[in-house]
Every structure is written in structure tokens, then in C-alpha cells.
Chains A and B, each alone.
Chain A
Amino acid sequence: MDFVNAIILILNYIFVPALAYGSQLALGAIFVTLIYGILRFANFATGDMMSFGTMFVILFTWYFQSVGISLGIFPTALLAIPFAIIFMVGYMLIIDKFVFKYYRTKKSPPVQLAMVSIGVMFVTQAVVRIIIGPSDRRFFDGEKFLIKAGEFKEMTGLNEGLAIKSTQVITIIVTLILVSTLFWFLNKTKTGKSMRAYSDNEDLALLSGIDPKKIVMTTWIIAGILATIGGALYGLDKSFKPFTYFNNMLPIFAAAIVGGIGNPFGAFLGGYVIAFSEILLTYAYRKFFMYVLPESMEPDGLIQLLSTDYKFAVSFSILVIVLLYRPSGIFKGKVL
């Protein structure tokens, strides 16, 4: 019985949260990697673009709530996401037209584009803060838990409860659907294939008659969808605060690079690598060992490898190690 308890404990405090957090990071990381692979620059506005999309989700959620539309047990935000995506994609295309296009056609070095993205970061941040303000916002409604800890205990008679939030399940399911659609799109459709070709070798792709304008536009549209959904899922699960979103850019970058930048599948897995290592290394294992070990060997300390304060530092250290030993990431090889 103790062994089952230990497993439930790990599931409850490590596995489920890490899976949800990892999915949110994965969406962001695919966003970064797509931009990097096709438009060829590191987008420092990632976090703020995500917060921009989420802002629209929140605004639409408020609107729907005010007119009394809801999805019952599901959060209203799910209904708002498609509408937000339209605005987000519009914003992305406008930015591309007025800012990035100039440097792309001029074939500026990637560094310059990265600098430009910092300008976009400032502007986006300002717009978000001016429209919705810098404070913490929760926009979750509907049923909060799929399984409550107490109910689970009663059901199974175990000491440890397993609580699964509905947002966690929604996050994981939506991520899986979205990512598999994306991979299907990239691997099976003509546009997707031409995107991969463009990312692999721009000149060759242009020679074979691929329209760069179409590729760039598709990339921004996909990026807009990913950013909005990723941001909205994070906001549903935790809460929406522009500053947090800006900071999330860092683990997202870490995930994209760990997975091999330019490689969407690597980015997808990279998100989970970062999330799991963050949580595994900062979790206090004391209770786990109390279940597993016999009573005489019970630990006194918290058995925590690192204090939770160093959560971010863990992912960055992984990144630094990966950069040192495998600059092309864990899943290197083909680009996109």
C-alpha cells in the first residue's frame, strides 16, 4: 500500500503539474522554433506576443460572460480562443508588414532582426499594459477539478490524494491535438512541405517555385495560433500577468534550444524536458521516502536537491550544459 501511496504522491505533485506546465512551454517553444527556422531570427517578443493573444482571450471571455454565454463545465475561454486568434493573427501580420518585412527583404543579419524584435517586445508590452493593465487576472470559470483530492482518497482508500485540475487536462488534450495537427500539416500537406523546404534551404526552395510570401504568412498564422492557445492555457492554469508572460520567454527559449532550435518536434519534447527537470530537481522528496523506505531509515531533512527558489536557474543550467556539449540541441539533424 505504501508503494501505491508513493506513486500517487509522485503523480500528484510531479507528474501531472509537470505535464501541464511542459505542454504550455512546448507550445511556446514550437512558436519560437518556427520563427527561428523559417524567418531566421530569435524572437525576443515571444512572451509578450503570448500575453497579447491571451489578452484578447480574456477580453472575449469577459464579453461572453457579460452576455451570458458559457460552456457549462468548460471554461468560457475555450469559446473565446478562436476569436482571439483572429485578432492575434491580424496583429502578427501587421507587425510583419510594417516591421519585419523590411529587414527580411533586405536580408539583414539575424542579429539585427533579433534587435528589431526587442523593439516589437517593448511596443507589445506597452499595448498590453495600456489595454488591460499590469495586474494579475484570473479568467477561469466552469468546473475546477476533474478529480478532487478528498474524493480520490475516499474512492481508493489511500492516504495520498490525487487532485487533477480540469485546466491541466484541457491543457494536455488541447496541446496534443494542436501539435499532432501541426505535425500532420508540416509533413503531409503541400504548404507544410514547402515550409520545411524553405526552412531547409531558402534558395533551393525559391528556385523550385515556392512562394516566400505565402510561406511567411502561413508561418505567422501558425505562430499566432500557437501563441494564443499556449498563452491562454497558461493563463487558465495559473493566472494572467503580463510580467510573468515576459519572464516565461526564458524557459521557452531554453526548451526550444534544448530540443534543437528549428526542429518543432525537438521543441515539443524540450518543453517537457525543461518542465520535468525543473520540478524533479526542486521537489522535496521527504514524504516519498517515508513511504518507500522502512521506518527505521526515515529521512530527517527535506531531501530536496535544490530549493524551489532556483526553479528557473535549473532550466537555464540545463540549457547552458546543452549549449556547451551539443549546441544543436538534443534532437539535432534536420531543420523543421
Chain B
Amino acid sequence: MRKNLNVIAAYSIMMGLIILVGIFQSWNIALSIFNLCLISAVMTMGANIQWGYAGLINFGIMGFTALGGLAAVLISVDPVQEAWSAGGSNILFSLFLIIAMVLAVRYILKNYKKSKNRTYIVAAIIVLGIVIIRFISEPGIEAIENVEPAKTGFLGGLGLPIIFSWVVGAFFAGGLAFVIGKVALGLRADYLAIATLLISEIVIAIIKHEDWLTRGVKNVIGLKRPAPYEVNLQQTDWFINLVEKFNSSKLNLITDLTERQAALNQLVIEGSSVFVKLCYSGLFLVVVIILLILTQKALYSPWGRMMRAIRDNEEAANAMGKNVVKQHLLIFVLGSAIVGIAGAMLVTQDGLFTPGSYRPLRYTFLIWVMVIVGGSGNNFGAILGGFVVWFLWIEAAPIGLYLVNLTTAGLEDTHFLKVHLIESVPYFRFLMMGVGLLIIMRYRPKGILPEKIEIK
């Protein structure tokens, strides 16, 4: 108990801050911050596995998040029958061709010795394959995109409950990570960072512009929900009764019947959105706890010890007979898969998929700030980092406004400097993140909750 005191203290402070937001701003805001904190925590756990356990830099978090989001769309949206009949066969055939192409290349790479001819043949297969696939897929894509472009214009998904997408998102992201890992893990640390950053940009470019698959920048809206809808809740009796019970003391003060009814209605509307957010919080909390248990178990297992050995001294670990390349690949896939889960969760919570909103600053660098600030190598630290940084990211604007008002109190309201500063309040969050990161890296390089390994 004693040794975990700082963990408990840090988490209680964090919870206290969120509760303060609930009291002073509104419970709705507090819960949406809390939910996004949980999602960020999942992302940081993924990044922390890669960076904290194994020392791999993955600046491609944005790409994996987007793939998770794509999974949510492909699982939950109902299939668009007309689109399938218009161009489905072409797409399926192209898919088959892609698989055939990959297998052919693999076969050649495996069975022939390295030579110039082999390289030319592989290149020829790839170029020829791409040309053929383009010819076959193009009419199909055009046909699909012409099916009611304002409403659908894409193939749709499988029409399953969206919860499944959390698993599928993990598989998507893990699959991509496997390919990237095969290609790029041999690179030096900073090269890997740049390579993953650029690959994630490619992923986003594809998601943005392949309208037949994702609707691209037209966005997919109105995804299914695992939680009840507010409108339905507002008409169910048990929920109204529940709200009435909760607020009975407040409601009893009102004697007038119609006034009381109006107040109750207002409370029900507010309560319904809080209730929906609570449902999400519950779901997300379950994911976070499961992941936390798994990652903690892994950290203290022989495998975790091996990973730390590889991180701290690759050559020595290699000399001890550990397969460094294989373990790096494994951990890269695992960490990315967790990020994929977070991506699917994010889209589930928003109920919409907007490829245009994936930007490296928000989905890659901010997550890295979370990992570094929280404490790399320590799962509790990573989660705390997700909470702290997201909380500050959201609350930076009010804090910034307060600070601006404080420092420029002597100036008139119309003074150009004051007006300008108040207009640029949203950008104080960047300043806060940057300064926070620099201070933490300088004075507490291991983060708020540093890595602590006890051998039990």
C-alpha cells in the first residue's frame, strides 16, 4: 500500500479534477472528458508497450487509429446492396488479384536466389499487377461511387453490432503493423520514427481518397451505437422514474404541477445524455481494465523481463539467444493492435467517421506527449499521462482565457493586444503541451510515475 501511495495520490487528484469540472462546468463536459481520457489511455498503453517495454518509436499512431475507425465503419454499417451488385464483383476480383500478386512475389522471393533477374521479375509482376488491377477495379469503383453518392456511394459494411469492430480494429491495425514491422523494424530508431510517420500519412491518404471503401471526405455518419439513444431514453418510464428519484429533493421544492413537469423534462433531457455517456464510460472502463491487467501481467512475466533486457541492451539479449527481430515485430504488432482498439472506440463514441480529422498533431504527437509525461514503461503512468494531458488539452482554453484576463487586467477591453490574445486563446493548448513536455523531459525524464520494476 505504502509504495503505491504516489500512484493512488496521482489518480485521486486526477479524478478530483474531473469531478470539479463536473461540479463547476457540467457533468456532460466532465463525462465527455472522462471518456476521451479513457480512449487516450488505451492509445497510450499501446504506445507505451512499444516505447516503454521495447524502446521502439512508433510515430504512426494516427494511421493505426484511423484503421481502427475504418473497422468500426466496415463492421457496423449495413451493406449497400446496389453498390455490391454494381461493382462488388470487380472489387472482389481485384482483391483476389492482389492476394495472387503478393503470393507470386513471395513465391519468387522464397524459391529463387537473390539476383538481378529476380529483382526485375518481382518489379515486373508488381507493375503489371497494378496496371491490371487498375483496369479491372476502375469501372467497379466508378459504378459503386455512383450509387446515390449523396447518401451512400460506398460498399457499406457487414451490418454487425459495432462492438465487434473493437476486435476487428485490433486485427486491422495489427495486420498493418505486421507489414510495416517486416519492412521498417530493421531501421535505426529515428529512421523508424520518420518511416512510421510517413507510412501513417499514406494510410490516411488512402482512407481519405478511396471513396468506394470509406466514403472518403464525405464522412460516414450515424453509426450504430452500443448504448441507447437519448431520444428513446427520454420516453422510457423507468428512466424518467430514475431521474425523478435522483432529483426528488430538488423537485419537491416546486409546488406548481406544470412547473414541476417542465423541470422534470429538463432534467430528463440532461440526464439522458449523461446516462448515455455513462454507458460509454462503463464500456471503455472495462476495456481499459482488461488491457491494464493483461499488460501488467505481461510486464512481470518472463516475457516482460526479456523485453526489458532487449530494450536495455539489444546485443546482450541477442547473445543470450533471444530473437530480437522476432520480439520487436511481436511487440510492434501488439502495441499497434491496442491503438487500433482505441481507434474503433473513438469512432464508436463519436458515432461518425471523418477521415479528414486525422491529423498527426492530435493523433500521433499528442499521444507521445501523454506517454512521456505519464511515465514510459509504467502502465499506470501511461494511463495517467492520457488523463492528465487530455484534461489539459481540453481545459487549456478556459485556463488560457483566465490567464490572459489576469495578465491584461490593466488594459481596456478594446485594447488591440487584449483582443488579439483573447482570440488566440485556443492556441495556448499547444504552448502548454510543449512547455509541459519540455519541463517533464528536463526535470523528470521518466515521467510523473516513473518505471519501477520490483522482482517479486
- Do A and B bind? yes
For B441, the chain A residues whose CB sits under 8 A away are 112, 115-116, 119
Let me know if A111 and B189 touch, CB within 8 A: yes
What mask results when residues 107 to 135 of chain A are scored 1 for a CB within 8 Å of chain B, else 0? 00111101110111111111101100110
Q: A250-B198, A309-B209 are in contact. Are A127 and B191 (CB under 8 A)?
A: no
Cβ of B424 < 8 Å from any Cβ of A? yes
Let me know if A323 and B437 touch, CB within 8 A: no
Of B259-267, B278-286, B428-436, which binds chain A? B428-436
Cβ of B438 < 8 Å from any Cβ of A? yes
Cβ of A17 < 8 Å from any Cβ of B? no
Cα separation A122 to B396 with both chains bound (whole Å)? 14
Q: A130-B421, A253-B198, A317-B202 are in contact. Are A118 and B191 (CB under 8 A)?
A: no
Cα separation A253 to B193 with both chains bound (whole Å)? 11
Let me know if B430 and A114 touch, CB within 8 A: no
For B209, the chain A residues whose CB sits under 8 A away are 307, 309-310
Let me know if B430 and A116 touch, CB within 8 A: no
User: What's the minimum C-beta distance from B167 to chain A, rounded to whole angstroms?
Assistant: 28
List CB contacts (< 8 Å) of B345-383 with chain A.
Answer: 361, 365, 368-369, 372
User: What's the minimum C-beta distance from A275 to chain B, rounded to whole angstroms?
Assistant: 16
Partner of A110, one of B184, B190, B437, B438: B190
For B421, the chain A residues whose CB sits under 8 A away are 130
For B208, the chain A residues whose CB sits under 8 A away are 309
For A130, the chain B residues whose CB sits under 8 A away are 421, 424, 427-428, 431
Cβ of A246 < 8 Å from any Cβ of B? yes
What mask results when residues 177 to 201 of chain B are scored 1 for a CB within 8 Å of chain A, else 0? 0000001101111110111011101
For B429, the chain A residues whose CB sits under 8 A away are 126
Considering only CB atoms and an 8 Å cut-off, how many residues of chain A contact the other chain? 43
Let me know if A323 and B438 touch, CB within 8 A: no
Q: A115-B372, A122-B431, A123-B431 are in contact. Are A133 and B424 (CB under 8 A)?
A: yes
Let me know if A118 and B424 touch, CB within 8 A: no
Let me know if B427 and A313 touch, CB within 8 A: no
Cβ of A41 < 8 Å from any Cβ of B? yes
Cβ of B57 < 8 Å from any Cβ of A? yes
Let me know if A310 and B428 touch, CB within 8 A: no
Let me know if A125 and B205 touch, CB within 8 A: no
What mask results when residues 249 to 269 of chain A are scored 1 for a CB within 8 Å of chain B, else 0? 010011001000000000000
Q: A111-B189, A121-B365, A250-B197 are in contact. Are A310 and B434 (CB under 8 A)?
A: no
Cα separation A124 to B205 with both chains bound (whole Å)? 26
Cα separation A257 to B361 with both chains bound (whole Å)? 22
Let me know if B193 and A114 touch, CB within 8 A: yes
Cα separation A300 to B198 with both chains bound (whole Å)? 34
Let me know if A123 and B430 touch, CB within 8 A: yes
Let me know if A316 and B424 touch, CB within 8 A: no
For B113, the chain A residues whose CB sits under 8 A away are none
Let me know if A327 and B434 touch, CB within 8 A: no
Q: A310-B205, A312-B201 are in contact. Are A123 and B368 (CB under 8 A)?
A: no
Cα separation A120 to B433 with both chains bound (whole Å)? 10
Cα separation A112 to B55 with both chains bound (whole Å)? 11
What mask results when residues 282 to 317 of chain A are scored 1 for a CB within 8 Å of chain B, else 0? 000000000000000000000000010110110011
Let me know if B442 and A102 touch, CB within 8 A: yes
Let me know if B431 and A127 touch, CB within 8 A: yes
For A127, the chain B residues whose CB sits under 8 A away are 431
For A246, the chain B residues whose CB sits under 8 A away are 361
Cβ of A177 < 8 Å from any Cβ of B? no
For A324, the chain B residues whose CB sits under 8 A away are 183-184
Let me know if A118 and B369 touch, CB within 8 A: yes
For B316, the chain A residues whose CB sits under 8 A away are none
Cβ of B206 < 8 Å from any Cβ of A? yes
For A134, the chain B residues whose CB sits under 8 A away are 427
Q: A115-B368, A246-B361, A323-B184 are in contact. Are A123 and B194 (CB under 8 A)?
A: no
Cα separation A274 to B9 with both chains bound (whole Å)? 51
Cα separation A110 to B191 with both chains bound (whole Å)? 11
For A307, the chain B residues whose CB sits under 8 A away are 209
What mask results when residues 200 to 244 of chain B are scored 1 for a CB within 8 Å of chain A, else 0? 011001101100000000000000000000000000000000000
Let me know if B198 and A122 touch, CB within 8 A: no
Kindly report which residue of chain A lies nearest to residue B138, judged by CB atoms.
Answer: A301
Kindly report which residue of chain B lies nearest to residue A317, judged by CB atoms.
Answer: B202
Let me know if B190 and A114 touch, CB within 8 A: yes
Let me know if B199 and A121 touch, CB within 8 A: no
Let me know if A257 and B191 touch, CB within 8 A: yes
For A42, the chain B residues whose CB sits under 8 A away are 190, 193-194
Let me know if A312 and B205 touch, CB within 8 A: yes
List CB contacts (< 8 Å) of A217-269 with chain B.
Answer: 246, 250, 253-254, 257
Cα separation A134 to B424 with both chains bound (whole Å)? 9
Cβ of A99 < 8 Å from any Cβ of B? yes
Kindly report which residue of chain B lies nearest to residue A41, judged by CB atoms.
Answer: B190
Q: A42-B193, A320-B195 are in contact. Are A122 and B434 (CB under 8 A)?
A: yes
Cβ of A57 < 8 Å from any Cβ of B? no
Let me know if A126 and B194 touch, CB within 8 A: no
For B199, the chain A residues whose CB sits under 8 A away are 316, 320
Cβ of A319 < 8 Å from any Cβ of B? yes
Partner of A327, one of B187, B189, B427, B445: B187
Let me know if A309 and B198 touch, CB within 8 A: no
For B438, the chain A residues whose CB sits under 8 A away are 99, 116, 119-120, 123
What mask results when residues 51 to 86 of chain B are scored 1 for a CB within 8 Å of chain A, else 0? 000000100000000000000000000000000000
Partner of A254, one of B193, B198, B433, B435: B198
Let me know if A320 and B190 touch, CB within 8 A: no
Q: A111-B190, A320-B199 are in contact. Are A122 and B206 (CB under 8 A)?
A: no
Q: A122-B431, A309-B209 are in contact. Are A323 and B202 (CB under 8 A)?
A: no
Cα separation A143 to B28 with both chains bound (whole Å)? 56
Kindly report which residue of chain A lies nearest to residue B130, judged by CB atoms.
Answer: A305
Kindly report which residue of chain A lies nearest to residue B424, judged by CB atoms.
Answer: A130
Cα separation A313 to B194 with both chains bound (whole Å)? 14
Let me know if B365 and A118 touch, CB within 8 A: yes
For A99, the chain B residues whose CB sits under 8 A away are 438
Cα separation A99 to B427 with both chains bound (whole Å)? 21
For B369, the chain A residues whose CB sits under 8 A away are 118, 122
User: What's the minimum C-beta distance from B138 to chain A, rounded to whole angstroms?
Assistant: 9
Partner of B194, one of A122, A129, A257, A310: A257
Cα separation A319 to B201 with both chains bound (whole Å)? 12
Cα separation A43 to B441 with both chains bound (whole Å)? 16
Cα separation A99 to B369 with both chains bound (whole Å)? 16
* 8 further interface pairs, Cβ-Cβ under 8 Å (given A126-B427, A126-B428, A126-B431): A42-B193, A122-B431, A123-B430, A125-B430, A130-B421, A130-B431, A133-B424, A250-B201
The 5 closest A-B pairs by CB, nearest first: A122-B434, A123-B434, A126-B430, A126-B431, A119-B437
* 9 residue pairs bridging A and B, Cβ less than 8 Å apart: A109-B189, A112-B445, A118-B437, A119-B437, A125-B427, A125-B434, A126-B427, A257-B191, A320-B199
